């Protein structure tokens, strides 16, 4: 689990490290450049594994009826020589696009280091040379001393343009964090060149055009294969379209003192973290416990036309470790649901509310909503149960929709409530505008205001706790975007919250929910690797779940 830093926090970390701790800014830039150069090396692969060129290059020159002039013929010969030299020399070519700021300075330094690694490197300055920062200018001097050059970016110049078509890798060092306006002018041209060429792109800190805090795309953005981010990961690398542009994220520690990071970030009351790799340990189940100790889960779900949702939720709850799962469905769909259930105990909902409440109260946690429908009497039932139940409740799908216009039903609860909306359900619940531009802030503010745990589903699902802590899920894939995936997640969360050994006095319910979100995403990734994103199903995710949970179980006798 990695701590996330906002643009404002990173600027303050840099300021304190340089101005108050005396860390030389050029040392930070040099280490950042080293991390970028190493990422380029890893993307290109070791020389002995490269083999023959993956593609050859040709040049088609269109001429009119008249033969070319001597100058035109000379230019065609020069362009042809650029292409032919690539076909003759397997040494990888790397283009580094540098802005005038310190992110550009990282790129200039990386260009020098890549030259030292034996690559053919050209560094291009995009933007006004007069706006270069002192550190960027210092790195240019070192590049020139090493025999390199920071060239002006001139995409209309044929020789430069043809050379760029022969590149094996490109480096995006245009902006980094802090961009707040749409990419335009020569910067937009550079972004489009990086996206249009078939070679991979390594981005410095944040892909240009991505808002580092929200993941919002500012006009157009670089689509990187790898993003090397410095000191701490940024939220925008995992959220929405920004997460899709970042590729694989590598965090490089460049010399900011660890105690400063701890002081400025980890000690703050409202932290943001990303769950991206690593083990999030599930404690060993007590050896002497019985099934009641592992949670009795009450599920209220299903309606005519929606018989799959309750079954998926119940099966997921069983797979996630619940001791007993009771699945209550409307009487008219009970025969269909019952035949699909083996481990979960399905039953037709009693007609009297008191009987339903009695059964729910006898359990440790309730899941309300998958496939439930939006009939007025159903929504009233949901709100009554919220008011009368003193156990944790997970609200999903139509359970959330039942709160639209009745948010007071949530506010009056004293027991834990977990909501799992997608953007559309969140919009109906809150009246917010779509698309949600700052998902992290929106989730955090809702969770704090209504004293609940909110799971805002989507690319980079955000889990927010009432104390202001948030977690972003760094796993998952588009193959999970199928009806039923949310039902699986809801069943898993209910099962985890119902297990008594997971709810110790020091357990953080928000973190437990975030772990459940991450396990769910890992199950999806496992299915994608094995079956492909097109063919995988929510049922496959349930079957993959035991192996995922096994990876996270605490080891021991």
Check whether the bond before 435 is cis (ω within 30° of 0). Answer: yes
Residue with tokens 């542009």: 245
**Mean pLDDT along residues 235-239:** 96
Q: What is the pLDDT of residue 72?
A: 67
Please say if the pLDDT value at position 64 is more than 60.
no
517: CB partners within 8 A, 6+ apart: 275, 455, 461, 463, 471, 473, 489, 493
> Residues of 71-81 as b/e, b for ≥16 C-beta within 10 angstroms?
eeeeeeeebee
Rounded alpha-carbon distances, angstroms, from residue 326 to 318, 348, 458: 10, 11, 29
Q: Each residue of 194-229: pLDDT tens digit?
A: 999 999 999 999 999 999 999 999 999 999 999 999
Rounded alpha-carbon distances, angstroms, from residue 177 to 14, 102, 133, 203, 257: 12, 10, 15, 11, 20
Name the helix (H) or strand (E) containing 30: helix 25-44
Banded model confidence at residue 280, pLDDT cuts 50, 70, 90: confident
Q: Report the candidate in 375, 364, 429, 442 with the shortest Cα–Cα distance to residue 403.
A: 429
Q: Could you tell me how many helices (H) and strands (E) the chain has, helices first?
A: 20, 18
DSSP for 460-507?
T-EEE-TTS-EEEE----GGG-STTHHHHHHHHHHHHHH-GGGS-TT-
Q: Each residue of 491-503: pLDDT tens digit?
A: 999 999 999 999 7
Please say if the pLDDT value at position 178 is more than 80.
no
- Distance of alpha carbon 385 from alpha carbon 398, whole angstroms: 14
Name the helix (H) or strand (E) containing 173: strand 169-173
Please say if the pLDDT value at position 556 is more than 80.
no
Q: Each residue of 354-366: pLDDT tens digit?
A: 999 999 999 999 9
Please say if the pLDDT value at position 467 is more than 80.
yes
Q: Each residue of 334-392: pLDDT tens digit?
A: 999 999 999 999 999 999 999 999 999 999 999 999 999 999 999 999 999 999 999 99
314: CB partners within 8 A, 6+ apart: 299, 301, 325, 327, 341, 344, 346, 491
- Distance of alpha carbon 402 from alpha carbon 329, whole angstroms: 17
Q: Each residue of 395-451: pLDDT tens digit?
A: 999 999 999 999 999 999 999 999 999 999 999 999 999 999 999 999 999 999 999
Structural domains of the chain, ranges and CATH numbers in brackets:
2-43+78-268 (3.40.50.10260), 291-429+437-552 (3.40.1190.20)
Lowest-confidence pick of 130-139, 266-275, 429-438, 469-478: 266-275
Would you call 236 helix, strand, or coil by DSSP?
helix
Question: Is residue 98 a contact partner of residue 186, using CB atoms and an 8 Å limit?
Answer: no
Residue with tokens 């802030």: 441
Q: What is the pLDDT of residue 88?
A: 81
Q: Specify the pTM.
A: 0.90
Banded model confidence at residue 127, pLDDT cuts 50, 70, 90: very high
Q: What is the pLDDT of residue 63?
A: 52
φ, ψ at 537 (rounded to 5°): -130, 165
């Amino acid at each position: 689990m990695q701590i996330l830093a906002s643009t404002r926090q990173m600027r303050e970390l840099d300021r304190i490290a340089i101005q108050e701790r005396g860390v030389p800014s050029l040392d930070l830039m040099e280490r950042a450049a080293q991390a970028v150069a190493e990422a380029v090396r890893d993307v290109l692969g070791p020389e002995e594994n490269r083999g023959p060129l993956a593609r050859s290059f040709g040049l088609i020159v269109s001429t009119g009826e008249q033969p070319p002039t001597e100058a035109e013929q000379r230019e065609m010969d020069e362009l042809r020589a650029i292409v032919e030299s690539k076909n003759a020399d397997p040494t990888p070519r790397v283009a580094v696009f540098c802005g005038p700021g310190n992110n550009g300075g990282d790129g200039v330094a990386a260009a020098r280091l890549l030259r030292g690694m034996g690559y053919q490197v050209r560094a291009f300055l995009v933007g006004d040379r007069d706006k270069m920062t002192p550190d960027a200018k210092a790195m240019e001097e070192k590049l020139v001393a090493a025999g390199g050059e920071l060239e002006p970016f001139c995409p209309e110049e044929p020789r430069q343009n043809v050379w760029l078509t022969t590149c094996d890798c490109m480096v995006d060092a245009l902006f980094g964090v802090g961009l707040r306006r749409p990419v335009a002018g020569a910067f937009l041209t550079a972004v489009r060149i990086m996206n249009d060429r078939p070679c991979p792109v390594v981005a410095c800190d944040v892909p240009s055009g991505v808002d580092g805090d929200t993941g919002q795309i500012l006009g157009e953005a670089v689509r990187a294969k790898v993003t090397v981010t410095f000191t701490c990961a940024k939220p925008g690398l995992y959220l929405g379209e920004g997460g899709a542009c970042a590729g694989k994220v590598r965090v490089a520690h460049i010399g900011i003192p660890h105690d400063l990071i701890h002081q400025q970030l980890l000690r703050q009351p409202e932290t943001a973290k990303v769950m991206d790799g690593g083990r999030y340990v599930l404690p060993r189940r007590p050896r002497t416990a019985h099934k009641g100790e592992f949670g009795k889960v009450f599920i209220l779900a299903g309606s005519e036309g929606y018989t799959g949702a309750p079954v998926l939720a119940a099966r997921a709850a069983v797979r996630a470790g619940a001791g007993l799962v009771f699945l209550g469905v409307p009487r008219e769909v009970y025969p269909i649901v019952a035949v699909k259930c083996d481990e979960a105990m399905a039953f037709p909902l009693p007609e009297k509310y008191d009987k339903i409440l009695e059964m729910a109260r006898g359990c440790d946690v309730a899941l309300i909503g998958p496939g439930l429908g939006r009939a007025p009497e159903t929504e009233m039932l949901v709100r009554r149960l919220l008011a009368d139940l003193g156990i944790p409740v997970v609200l999903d799908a139509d359970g959330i929709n039942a709160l639209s216009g009745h948010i007071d039903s949530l506010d009056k609860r004293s027991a834990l409530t977990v909501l799992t909306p997608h953007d559309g359900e969140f919009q109906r619940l809150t009246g917010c505008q779509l698309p949600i531009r700052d998902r992290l802030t929106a989730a955090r503010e809702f969770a704090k205001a209504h004293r609940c745990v909110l799971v805002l589903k989507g690319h980079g699902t955000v889990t927010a706790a009432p104390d202001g802590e948030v977690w972003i899920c760094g796993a998952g894939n588009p193959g999970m975007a199928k009806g039923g995936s949310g039902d699986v997640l809801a069943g898993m969360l209910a099962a985890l919250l119902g297990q008594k050994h997971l709810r110790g006095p020091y357990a953080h319910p928000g973190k437990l929910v975030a772990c459940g979100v991450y396990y769910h995403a890992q199950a999806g990734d496992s299915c994608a690797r094995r079956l492909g994103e097109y063919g995988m199903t929510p049922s496959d995710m349930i079957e993959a779940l035991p192996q995922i949970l096994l990876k996270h179980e605490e080891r021991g006798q």
